Amino acid sequence: MPFDKTVVVPLDPDATFALVTEPERLRRWQTVAARVDLRTGGGYRWTVVPGHSAAGTFQEVDPGRRIVFTWGWEESEDLPPGTSTVTPTAGGTEVRLVHEGLSDEQAARHAEGWTHYLDRLAAAAVVGDAGPDEWAALPQPLDELSSAEATLAVVQRALRDLTADDMSAQTVCTEFTVAQLADHLAGSITTIGSAAGPKIDDEPGKPVETRIADEAQQALEAWRRRGLDGTVLIGGNTVPAPIAVGILSIEFLVHAWDFAAAVDRNVTVDPALSEYVLGLAHTIIRPEARGTVGFADPVPAGHTADPFERLIAFTGRPLPTA
């Protein structure tokens, strides 16, 4: 049973094609992270929501008009990668998406998902960005890997559309401007990602959001393949795998706050996700090691502080006064 829906997209065919194929554009409406090899026979992997990634191969690529790709969910028994087919077609100001090879039950589930994301596609076409996706705010189940994917979505939004002037802004970390903090975060991602196996590529010349997103995609994909069993070597120290991945959630969420504060933006985080990352921070940031890993002593948060504010205070950052 196919799912078939058409939405109005007020863009020219090439811009529309970019929205449905380029990682930088996909992150504006559908994915947390995306890897795309856009050619016939090339593969893709999209983390649509934290903890749930779709993958497949491109069977047909007609730039500006139409693509055909196989579709399935990693770790799915009833719809694994390659078992169904998606065809978005651009015609004028309309995009028609047909998803074939689904059972009645699968079609019903995917109808809900595609309707949600096609509405976001139309919004992104109008304003450039569909805004935070409530479906990505709190993954279920919540573990170290899904938390890292969810907090990646938060830091990507904090980095979105930064200007050259923003890059020289001072962060609350007195040794870092925004540009220097981005280098620090990139270094953390490459170190932790490479501990899972392959060396993570860093391209400092990219726009900062794209740089962090591309590195994190590689790192989290490597960790998904490896899993959280056993230990890894980081900086000469043997570390339990869950701790290594847990560090990413802390880095993403705390530095999202740092970046946003430096350029006078706000950060929105689901309280349950913040509470989970705060628990990771209490486990990972030991009092005797705070100085060596770059954290000052905790500061008072106040009895009315929400979980995100308590996380920021625990990492030694002074909260703004009302």
The CATH 1.20.120.450 domain(s) of the chain lie at 137-314
Q: What are phi and psi of 82, to 5 degrees?
A: 95, 0
Q: What pLDDT was estimated at residue 321?
A: 65
How many Å apart are CA 64 and CA 41, to the nearest integer?
18
CATH placement of domain 3-127: 3.30.530.20
Could you confirm whether domain 137-314 is CATH 3.60.15.10? no
Q: What is the pLDDT of residue 174?
A: 86
The verdict on whether omega for the bond into residue 287 sits within 30 degrees of 0, i.e. cis, is: no
85 close to 69: Cβ distance less than 8 angstroms: yes
DSSP letters for 66-81? EEEEEE-BTT-SSS-T
Whether pLDDT at 93 is above 90: no
- What percent of the chain lies above the pLDDT cut of 90? 88
Question: Quick check: 252 and 150 in contact, CB under 8 A?
Answer: no
Q: What does the pLDDT read at residue 147?
A: 97
Single-letter residue type at 285: I
Closest CA to 54 of 117, 143, 125: 117
**How high is the pLDDT of residue 293?**
67
pLDDT of 319 > 90? The answer is: no
**pTM, full prediction:** 0.94
Q: How far apart are CA 252 and CA 156, in angstroms?
A: 9
Coil vs helix vs strand at 83 = coil
User: Residue 322: pLDDT band by 50, 70, 90 thresholds?
Assistant: low
Model confidence pLDDT, tens digit, residues 188-226 = 999 999 999 989 999 999 999 999 999 999 999 999 999
Residue 127 pLDDT more than 70? yes
pLDDT for position 291: 67
CA angle 214, 216, 66 (to 5 degrees): 45
Query: What is the structure's pLDDT at 302?
Result: 82
Nearest to 225 by CA among 198, 203, 192: 198
Q: Which of 34-38, 201-205, 301-305 has the highest mean pLDDT?
A: 34-38
pLDDT for 130 beyond 70: yes
Residue 290 confidence (pLDDT) above 80? no
Q: Which of 178-187, 218-227, 289-298 has the lowest average pLDDT? A: 289-298
Q: Is the pLDDT of residue 154 over 80?
A: yes
